[in-house]
């Protein structure tokens, strides 16, 4: 399982099960060349 294939929001419990969902529901951020998944979903931020 890759780093961007799963995410869970610690605030509301929303999950994403593949990279597309992670990108849509959480967002993938490029931080100086390092890709980072946002830990909280878009609604909770
Ligand atoms: Zn959330």
Q: What is the pLDDT of residues 26-44, one digit of tens each?
A: 999 998 999 999 999 999 9
Mean pLDDT value of segment 5-23 = 97
pLDDT at 24 over 90: yes
Q: How many angstroms does the Cα of residue 45 sit away from the middle of ligand 1? A: 7
Q: pTM, whole model, 2 decimals? A: 0.85
H/E element holding 21?
Answer: helix 19-25
N-to-C CA span, the chain = 25
Q: How many angstroms does the Cα of residue 26 sit away from the middle of ligand 1? A: 8
The predicted pLDDT at position 2 comes to 74
Q: How many angstroms does the Cα of residue 33 sit away from the middle of ligand 1? A: 25
Task: Tokens for 24, please give them.
Answer: 């849509």
Q: How many angstroms does the Cα of residue 34 sit away from the middle of ligand 1? A: 23
Question: Cα–Cα distance between 43 and 29 in angstroms, integer?
Answer: 16
Q: How many angstroms does the Cα of residue 16 sit away from the middle of ligand 1? A: 11
């Amino acid at each position: 399982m890759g780093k961007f294939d799963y995410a869970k929001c610690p605030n509301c419990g929303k999950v994403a099960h593949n990279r597309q969902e992670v990108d849509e529901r959480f967002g993938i951020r490029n931080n100086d060349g390092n890709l980072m998944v946002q830990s909280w979903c878009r609604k909770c931020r």
